[in-house]
Chains A and B, each alone.
Chain A
Amino acid sequence: MSVADMPNAEIPGAEMPDWFVHKKPRANLIVARWVPAALVGLPVLVLFAIVVYPTVWMFYHSFQDTNMMRLFQGNWSFVGWDNFGAVLSSGRFGDSVVHLMQYLLFGCVLQVILGTILALTLYEIVRQEWLRVILLIVLVLPMMLPPSIVGVLWKFMLTPSNGAVNQALLNLGLVDKHVEWFNAGVSLWAIIIADVWNWTALPLLIVYSGRVSLPPAVYEAARVDGAKGWLVMRRITLPMLKEVIAIAFIVRFMDAFKFVDLVYVMTSGGPAQTSELPAYIAFQRGIREFAIGEAAAYAIIIFAISAVLITLFLKYLKKVLKAQGIA
Chain B
Amino acid sequence: MSEQTARLIRTLLLIFLGLWLILTLFPLYWQFITAFKSAAETNRTIPSFWPEVWHFENLVSVFAEPTNFSALVDSFIIATGNTIASLVLGSLAGYAFARFPRQAGGENLAFWILSNRMFPPVAVLVPMFFLFDAMPWGTDSYLSLIILYLVFNMPLATWLMMVFFRDAPRELEEAAYLDGYTPLRAFVKVTLPLVLPGMISVAMLCWIFAWNEYLFANLFVGTQVRTFTIVIPTFTHGSQTLWNLQMAFSMIAMLPPVALFILLRRYMVRGLSLGVVKG
Contact = CB atoms under 8 A, between A and B. Distances in A.
- Most chain B C-beta atoms within 10 Å of own C-beta, residue among A142, A146, A279: A146
B195 interface: no
Q: What DSSP secondary structure best describes chain A's contact surface?
A: helix
Contact of A303 (B123, B131, B262, B275): B123
B184 to A, nearest CB: 9
A254 B247 CA distance: 30
Contact of A299 (B97, B105, B123, B214): B123
A32 to B, nearest CB: 10
Contacts of A162: 43-47
Contact of B273 (A37, A206, A314): A206
A69 interface: no
Contact of A326 (B28, B95, B275): B275
B96 A117 contact: no
- Most chain A C-beta atoms within 10 Å of own C-beta, residue among B27, B151, B233: B27
- Most chain B C-beta atoms within 10 Å of own C-beta, residue among A28, A39, A205, A282: A39
A137 B265 contact: yes
A282 B113 contact: no
Interface string B250-279: 100110011001100100010011111111
Given A30-B177, A37-B105, A326-B166, A138 B25 contact: yes
Contact of A148 (B17, B45, B232): B232
A167 B102 CA distance: 62
Nearest to B217: A148
B118 interface: yes
A164 B183 contact: no
Interface stretch (A48-56, A95-103, A181-189): A48-56
B250 A55 contact: no
A43 B124 contact: no
Given A37-B104, A147-B214, A156-B34, A260 B127 contact: no
A299 B120 contact: yes
Given A148-B214, A206-B272, A153 B31 contact: yes
A147 B212 contact: yes
A90 interface: no
Contacts of B228: 146
A156 B27 CA distance: 10
A87 interface: no
A201 to B, nearest CB: 8
Interface of B: 1, 6, 9-10, 13-14, 16-17, 20-21, 23-28, 30-31, 34, 43-47, 49, 89-90, 92-93, 95-97, 99-100, 102-105, 107, 109, 111, 113-116, 118-131, 147-148, 150-151, 154-155, 158, 163, 166, 177, 183, 208, 211-215, 218-219, 228-230, 232-233, 235, 243, 246-247, 250, 253-254, 257-258, 261-262, 265, 269, 272-279
24 contacts: A37-B105, A40-B96, A42-B93, A54-B124, A135-B21, A139-B24, A144-B257, A146-B250, A149-B229, A152-B235, A152-B246, A206-B273, A229-B1, A247-B276, A258-B121, A279-B122, A296-B126, A298-B122, A302-B123, A314-B115, A317-B276, A321-B275, A326-B163, A327-B166
Given A153-B27, A153-B31, A209-B269, 20 more contacts: A43-B113, A46-B150, A117-B16, A125-B14, A139-B20, A146-B250, A146-B253, A146-B257, A152-B233, A152-B246, A156-B30, A197-B24, A260-B215, A261-B215, A279-B122, A282-B123, A286-B125, A296-B126, A309-B118, A314-B115
